[in-house]
Amino acid sequence: MKFFFIGFHASIITKLIFNVHYNERVIGFTMTIVAFYSQNASSELQQDWQERLNFYDPSIKLVSLLSKEAEKATTALLWKAPLERIKYLKKLKGLISLGQGVDHILKNDLVPENIPVVRIVDPFMAKTMSHWVLLSILSYTRDIYGYYGQEKSKIYKARKEIDFLSPKIAIYGIGEIGNVVLKDLYNLGFNVEGWSRTKKNIQNILCNHGHDGFVKMLKSCNIHVCLLPLTKSTNGIFNKETFSLMKKNSCFINAGRGDHVVEEDLLESCKTGHISNAILDVYKQEPLPQNHIFWKQENIRIWPHVAAETNPQTAAKQIANAIKCINEGKSPPNMVDKKLGY
């Protein structure tokens, strides 16, 4: 790690010096202008991306999507951006999502047909998500909130005994992230199965697909984990009807997107105790408004969309490569199927 940082900084300094001289001496040196926007991000974050991308490609220059200079951009690197700006980027050849999800880019069909959309696929993020899901599952199965409550009142007493290996766990969405979560839980001895759109074969693990597979998992599992992408087919997939198919006392965990859930239906299921615990990382409106009713519901646990954050250190290499491919007219890895929406 130490050597990485020394190498990283030394390389950046060398490249910056090189660039200054190069700019001074060679007329016509072309920068790769990339329009950048990350909602609520600090200027330090843009600077961090700038440096990390320059480690792989010194020609990349990030400019704010909202600036005039962005109109020269061939690529845009976006997270929850004002997409109306895209129509002013006449030289645009490709869009890159600053996260694994692309719903923020594909919503409202504002991206022209001929512009490819690329997303990050980062094993580091999949592992981070796996840790968060494990933490959420353990906090439910080991009754962590009950014990925290007892600790505050100095109560030294075992609560109801929990059989934490037999509850069945459903993972909805077993793509780049979900399949890592699925396998990690299996390897820890959990009883886990997965659901996807197309048929999957994962050694030793039951994989379901399609509508029948969905209903089967809703009915038979005790812990339900949503790791789906938000598309026209998955919008509102967890609603009154699907919650009612779940077993009484089920735990519902969502790190997909807020719009996967009909929030009023989840609230109602939590109020009646049909869903005994909901652990949420994502919401219809983010940040979750101060007056949102979820804050008051004791069996709903709130996380501020941090289950698996994009990490510039681990993701910069693939983004630099995607920018290069887009500029050279090549197909970059991890292109999104716009028709499917993920």
Residues that bind ligand GLV (CB under 6 A): 99-101, 310
Number of residues counted as binding ligand NAP (CB under 6 A): 31
Min dist. Cβ of residue 253 to ligand GLV (A): 15
Closer to ligand NAP at the Cβ: 55 or 172?
172
Min dist. Cβ of residue 82 to ligand NAP (A): 20
Closer to ligand GLV at the Cβ: 15 or 80?
80
Binding residues among 194-213 for ligand NAP as defined by CB under 6 A = 195-198
Two structure tokens written together for 234: 């998955």
Min dist. Cβ of residue 79 to ligand GLV (A): 8
For residue 342, state whether it binds ligand NAP (rule: CB under 6 A). yes
For residue 256, state whether it binds ligand NAP (rule: CB under 6 A). yes
Q: Which of 57, 176, 259, 263 binds ligand NAP (CB under 6 A)?
A: 176
Select from ligand GLV, ligand NAP, none the partner in contact with residue 332, using the beta carbon and a kind-dependent cut-off of 5 to 8 Å.
none
Q: Which of 96, 230, 262, 267 binds ligand NAP (CB under 6 A)?
A: 230
Select from ligand NAP, ligand GLV, none the partner in contact with residue 53, using the beta carbon and a kind-dependent cut-off of 5 to 8 Å.
none
For residue 167, state whether it binds ligand NAP (rule: CB under 6 A). no
Comparing every residue's Cβ against ligand GLV, the nearest one is 99
Residues that bind ligand NAP (CB under 6 A): 99-101, 125, 129, 173-178, 195-198, 227-231, 233-234, 255-257, 281-282, 305, 307-308, 342
